[in-house]
Amino acid sequence: MIQTTLQPSWETAVSASVFFFFALMLAVPSGYSYGAAALLLLSLVWLVQHRSLRIDAADKTLCYLQLAVFAVSLIMLLVHDNAARSLDQNSRCLLAIPILIFLRAVPPRLEALWAGLVAGAIAAACVAAWQVHWAAVTIDRATGFVTSAVPFGNMALMLGLLCVAGMPWARSQQRSHQPYWIAALLLGATAGAYASVASGSRGGWLALAPVALILMAAFVTRRNAARCTLGIAALAAVLAVMWTMPDSTVRQRYDEAVVEISSYVQENDSRSSIGGRLEMWRAAAASIPERPLLGYSRAEYPQHLQVLIEQDRVAPYAAELVNTHNNYLEVWLFEGLPGLLALLALYGFPLWFFCQRLRSEDRTVQSLAVAGAVLQVGFFTFGLTHVILGRNSGVVFFTVTLVILWAGLRKREAYF
């Protein structure tokens, strides 16, 4: 465990950085970068001044996991002679290590964390509403200030889900503050859900099933089983209303998915969102067995894909797509089996650490553990239909949020 004196000025700077990291995430262009850059700068200054810091085995494990993801990318760059830009996203994992060590010494105030999540979710909802309803040129699907609707919707949904995880913490606050925190987190959860629906990002909605399992594992007991059942019924009623509303985005996106899957299966039509994904997965499934250990170079795979097209094994439309739309196939194709194992470990080990604390008697520890587990299973699921960690916004959101939640949890455990 890190042993150091907590300085109020450092704690204030960290707390402000964490707040703005989440609050600006989807509110402005490159919003994810400002708070993260501030945390990195603070961590480097702190580490220069405090060189004898000690971290425990669990902290080291998280550092090694981040380092492994970057190291595999570096090795594959040398093996395949890839361009240096292939390290761009995974270098963010490397930069998360000093932030983790720093935050274990000077974790943020939890009020800044939860307030930042609420502000970020509300900001995402405002951006989504503006783009869909009030902008000079309105669009059907909100995209925010990131590259497309999919990462915007996924990250907005995650902000909302993390607000849900904060409920036990809110209930543990002083009676005078408790109702305000509960109301704020409920508003944040609702705002995140709205932004997700406005984006029409269907792949992100798949995460609701494993997240529901995490919430049930954390909160459902014999004493509150009836209330939980009532809550699930109320949620089902809300979803039913959303489904039956005129011009329902949820129903429209579902109907489109049914048509696209049917067209792909019956007519081999790959020129659609889902059809294109299925065709790229088909191409990856045909390619990976040929080079399962080391994969392909970034320059070589398009040529290999063209060969598959000429052999009529893959539709020509596959060559027009920029990636496989699956984080695990993408990594396996270009970083081989070591890259895939490193990625799965980055999801699996932290998930195990957080799940061990889902039933903690301390509501603060429980909230942070649930938030961490939700982050892990959410991003894992996002990766099934989107290369979420192949974008700067996605990998920064995931890695920095992971170390923030972990540092907050360990600080609380030290005092409980």
Cβ(76)–Cβ(333) below 8 Å: no
pLDDT tens, the chain, 416 aa long: 444 445 568 999 999 999 999 999 999 999 999 999 999 999 999 999 887 677 889 999 999 999 999 999 999 999 999 888 889 899 999 999 999 999 999 999 999 999 999 999 999 999 999 999 998 888 989 999 988 999 999 999 999 999 999 999 999 998 889 999 999 999 999 999 999 999 999 999 999 999 999 999 999 888 888 877 887 777 777 777 767 776 778 888 888 888 988 998 888 888 888 988 999 999 999 999 999 999 999 999 999 999 999 998 999 888 888 889 999 999 999 999 999 999 999 999 999 999 999 999 999 999 999 999 999 999 999 999 999 999 999 999 999 999 999 999 999 987 66
pTM of the model: 0.94
CA 36, 93, 42: angle at the middle one, nearest 5?
35
CA distance 76 to 290: 17
